[in-house]
Every structure is written in C-alpha cells, then in structure tokens.
Chain A
C-alpha cells in the first residue's frame, strides 16, 4: 500500500453540500431498480404471466358466454381491468414484503440513512419505484394483450401513466400497512382481506352497476375502482366521473402517503 493512495483518500475538499433532493430520491430509485433487475427474469415473468393466464382462462372461457360487457367485447373489458390489477399487485408486494425485509431483516435502511438522505427521500424513492413498476407491468401486459387482439391499438398509450398512479396508490397503502404489522405473516390479512376482494369489487371482472346498492357505495371508496374506471374511460371515451377518479387518486396518494411516511419515520428514527 503506497502512501500516495492513502493521501488521496482525503484529498478532495468538500463543503458539506448534500445532493439536491431530486438527485437523492433518484439515487434511491436507482438502488431499487438495480436490485430488481439483478434477477429480472424470476422477478418479472410470474407477475407478468399471471394476468395473461387469467385473461386466457376467464376471458376466453367465460367470454364464450358473455360476449359483451358495458358495450365492449368482454375480453377487452377484462383486459383493461387487468392492466390495473397487475400494477396493484406488483406494487403491493414490493412495499409490504419487500419493504419489511429491507426494514427488519436486511436492515438496508440503517445503512442508507448514514448517507445524505432523509427518511422522506428514502420513502419517496420507493414510492416512485413502485409507480415505475406499475407503469412497466401495465405497459408489458398491454403490449401482449394488444398483440393478441384483446385491446385495440388505439388505446392506451396513456395506460402506463394510470399504471404509474396505481403503483403509487398501492405503494403508499402497503407502506401504511407495513408500519402497522409486527410480523411478516400479518401481511396475509392485507392481501386476503383487502387486495383480493378489491380484485372482484372494483369493476375489474364485472361492472360496478351489477353490485347491490350499498356495495356500490363501498366500491366507490375502494382505491382500485378509480384507476380501473379511468383507464376504461381513456379506452372508451372519458366522462365526468373520471374527474372524480383523478381527484381520488391524487388525494389518496398525497394523504395516505403523508400518513405512511410519518409513521415509518417514527420507526426509523429512534
């Protein structure tokens, strides 16, 4: 070990300037992207294939009996809904099991918070990454379903944007759940109790209009309902109710996000 190398270890003068906020959040996003893409095949193929299997099984099988739904072919109705559920699932898994493992088992945050980051930067980076995953999964499912003719090509170059919003919504919701559980097995309550029912009661497989009145009111408050209706609106023509969908998404991400970050800050900062 020559001494010149050691001298260079401290040769740079620094003024104590941390990177700008956007760069800090971007660096956190980069970390997640890097770790995720390390095992890109096993990480992305199953969640990508799942909606396609569902579309084939239910859409083609059931679609033989139900040809049209809300004025469009049933397969297309289902496919637009599945664009959003794929974003929901990937994001909800990432920020429950993924975040919990980083928090409790691998203690990844303990190291990262030694670098110039705030807890807010750390969590915004994660939420941004979940949104990105939502957009990517929406886009890939969309491309395949379009290729199979389930979706028209005209749709939905806007769909990945709604997929991003869906990813962000379920990221903040999952983060909030993560701050509540004290055991990784408790996430089963979240998935069986909230995420799975939402799959059926948010207008993905059948329209909300077919629900009893009181359940329709409940569905109106479920987060998945809004991106699903919004993406169908983009496909079939927007209507005034889509403004409510957009507003719901923005308020949900901001409100639940602020609450979840405040709670995780308490957990991360002694």
Chain B
C-alpha cells in the first residue's frame, strides 16, 4: 500500500511552477510565482486584468517563455517546459481566451481539423467528435457554420475541441467571460463531470462565483504576484470578516447620532473595519452585534447586511483601484 502510494507520488502534482518570472521589456508581468496544482483537482487563478494570469497560463504550454533563470522550473504532467512542449501539448487540452475557430467551417469540420493536429486517425476521430458534441450539447449543430452559432455555442465548441485528445489536464483561460448564466452553468457542470473522471483543471477567471463554484484551490494574483492561495472556504474563514454592512447613503452616518456613535465605537475598538467607495460605506466584522448596532441606527432601505464572499476578499487583497 505504501509502495503504491509512493509510486503514485509524481502523478499527484499535475503542474509544478517554481520561481517563474516574466518580463515584457521593462514591464514585469509575473514576479517569482510558485505554485503546485494537484492532479484531479481544479485550481483557479483569480485576479484583475493585468494580474499575470494569462501570461502564467501561456508559459505552461510554451506559448510564452519565462525569463531565463537557473532556478526557474516549470513542469506539466512530468514534462519540462519549454523543452518538452510537444509532449505537454499532446497531453493537455486548451481553451484559449479567444475562441480561434474557423468561422467559415461548420462545427464538425472545426473538430476534424484539430483531430488531425492531434494525429488521430479518422476512424477514431469520428466517434470521438460525436461523443463530444453530445457531451457539450451541440449534436444538433454539427453541420452549422461557426459564424451562425451564438457566443455560448462557440465557447462550448472550443471546450469540445480541447477534449478531443482526452486530455489529462484541461487549461481554460476565462472560459465563461461574456456568457449567459445558462451556458456558464452548463460549462461548470461539464467541468465537474470531467473532474470526477480524474481530469485536472486549471482555469483563470475574474468571476468570483466561478472560482467558488468549481475550484478546489484558489490562487489570487495581483500585479504579477501570488497574493493568497487556499481552498475557497478556508480563504474566506482565514482572511476576511464573516459579515458586511453596506450603507448606501453615507450621509446618514453623520446626521443620525445613534448610527454615528455605533460606527465610531466599533471602528475604534477594532470590531468594525471601515471601507468606502465613492457612493457607499462598508463595515466588515465577524461580530454580528457590532454590525447590528450600526444598522439599528439607520432607516430601512439605506443599508444592507450580508455574509462576506470571495469578492469582498478579492477587493480586500487586490484593492479597489482600477488596474489601468
């Protein structure tokens, strides 16, 4: 039993990245990134635009080269990048940020082209394509031109395309950006089914619910650095208060004495953490009584108390300023 487990050990880390640095000219896109993605699990990169998510993903299949440093190590499914990029690419599936479909061709023809890129004989490709179209609920569209498909169908086709070679690792760069809720949930369901069958998933997103729904492990990146890493519930428990009170009319906090006093006392004692945007004030706390004390002094409709979520944590760690 122990022997078997030890033999399995190299298989447990689908992706190992050590000391990944990447510059574009003077701009540092990724700074000393270290992470491991476990086999059969879903790891999600969460970060604002320009955080370095896509750059990191590109280094995992040779589309971007990390800075040349002696201590940098990138290993995917046991193969080293960039030296063994062909081995890696034959074992993974990729859903890039842009669909990159041949719009003049129909759904099936797009998949046939990729089956050839993977070196699949036609006898194997045909049933596989039918199976994947069924899996992504596109069977009825097999003969439709890509440019006649909706955005959600095109995205599902790209996922099907990435599964042609029965990949052990599926990499998705913002898989559901711009899609309607129905399509997003369908894609999430399919990803869950794949994980159940042992496929490792790595995705990038800036949707909190996407990361929370399907990821076992979340890596929050900002300005090229890893800021936080952990499983979703653990991250919330360890790094942000349990509740938040959103006050949509901040002027009331000045004019109503009871609310003002509760807010001042809570903040001074450290039980409340105050944050503000241009139009709102937010009070974070794990002590529900302190939240209620402020809320009790405010009229109905001017405030809203709720549990904190990943988005609150995300904004806490990456800041509210725009990444421009």
Q: A residues engaging B (CB < 8 A)? A: 1, 5-12, 14, 16-20, 23-24, 26-28, 30-31, 34-35, 38-39, 106-118, 268-270
Q: Which of B41-49, B161-169, B222-230, B270-278 forms contacts with chain A?
A: B161-169
A20 closest partner in B (C-beta)? B119
Q: Which of A6, A12, A106, A110 contacts B135 (CB 8 A)?
A: A6
Known: A6-B196, A9-B197, A269-B64. A17 touches B102 (CB 8 A): no
Which of chain B's residues have a CB closer than 8 A to the CB of A26? 116
Partner of A117 from B100, B117, B158, B199 at Cβ < 8 Å: B117
Q: A5-B131, A111-B100 are in contact. Are A269 and B62 (CB under 8 A)?
A: yes
Q: Which residues of A contact B55 (CB under 8 A)?
A: 270
* Beta-carbon contact of B89 and A114 below 8 Å: yes
13 contacts between A and B (CB under 8 A): A6-B196, A9-B135, A9-B197, A27-B113, A31-B113, A38-B109, A110-B96, A111-B94, A112-B117, A114-B89, A114-B94, A116-B89, A118-B86
Knowing A1-B135, A35-B105, A270-B24, the reply to whether A110 touches B100 (Cβ < 8 A) is yes
Task: Rank and list the top 7 A-B pairs by shortest CB-CB distance, nearest first.
Answer: A111-B100, A19-B119, A114-B94, A270-B64, A115-B117, A18-B86, A27-B116
Of the candidates B93, B114, B168, B197, which one forms a contact with A6 in the assembled complex, judged by CB atoms under 8 Å apart? B197
Residues on A with beta carbons closer than 8 Å to the beta carbon of B62: 113, 269
Cβ-based interface call for B101 (8 A): yes
A6 cross-chain contacts in B, Cβ below 8 A: 135, 193-194, 196-197
Residues 63-88 of chain B, each 1 if its beta carbon lies under 8 Å from chain A, else 0 = 11100000000000101000001111
> A11: which B residues are within 8 A, CB to CB?
166
Q: Flag if A24 contacts B79 (CB, 8 Å).
A: no
Contacts of B22 in A (CB 8 A): 270
B14 smallest CB distance to A (angstroms): 13
Q: Of B63, B79, B131, B194, which is within 8 A of A269 by CB?
A: B63
Interface size on B, residues (CB 8 A): 55
Tell me whether B198 is interfacial, beta carbon within 8 Å. Answer: yes
Which residues of A have CB within 8 Å of B158? 111
How many angstroms between the C-alpha atoms of A28 and B194 in the bound complex? Answer: 29
Are B104 and A116 within 8 A (Cβ)?
Answer: no
What residues of chain A lie closer than 8 Å to B117, measured between beta carbons? 19, 24, 27-28, 31, 112, 115-117
Contact of B104 among A18, A19, A30, A39 (CB under 8 A): A39
Complex contact A111–B99 (CB within 8 A): yes
User: CA A117 – CA B98 in complex, angstroms?
Assistant: 18
**Contact partners of A18 in chain B: CB under 8 A:** 86-87, 89-90, 119
Q: Which B residues touch A28, using CB under 8 A?
A: 117
Picked from B64, B87, B89, the residue with its CB within 8 Å of the CB of A115 is B89
Which residues on B are within 8 Å of A, measured CB to CB? 22, 24, 55, 58, 61-65, 77, 79, 85-94, 96-105, 109, 112-114, 116-119, 131, 134-135, 158, 161-163, 165-166, 168, 193-194, 196-199
Tell me the nearest residue of chain B to A36, going by C-beta.
B104
Name the contact of A34 in the complex, choosing from B99, B113, B163 (C-beta under 8 A): B113
**Would A111 and B104 count as touching, CB distance under 8 A?**
no
Residues on A with beta carbons closer than 8 Å to the beta carbon of B94: 111, 114-115
Out of A1, A12, A109, name the residue touching B166 (CB < 8 Å).
Answer: A12
Q: Which residues of A contact B63 (CB under 8 A)?
A: 110, 113-114, 268-270
Q: Which residue of A lies closest to B99 (CB)?
A: A111
Residues on A with beta carbons closer than 8 Å to the beta carbon of B99: 111
Closest CB of chain A to B175's CB: distance in Å?
Answer: 14
Q: How far is the CA of A112 from the CA of B94 in the complex (A)?
A: 10
Check if A106 sits within 8 Å of B162, measured CB to CB: no
A42–chain B nearest beta-carbon distance, Å: 11
Chain B residue contacts of A35, Cβ below 8 A: 102, 104-105
Cα A6 to Cα B178 in complex, Å, equals: 27
- CB <8 Å contact, B98 and A5: no
Q: Known contacts A27-B119, A117-B89, A269-B63: does B105 contact A110 (CB below 8 Å)?
A: no
- Give CA–CA (A11, B199) in the complex, Å: 11
Contact status B24-A108, CB under 8 Å:
no
Inter-chain contacts of B116 with A (CB < 8 A): 26-27, 30-31
Cβ A16 vs Cβ B85 within 8 A: no
Collect the chain B residues with CB atoms within 8 Å of residue A109's CB.
100
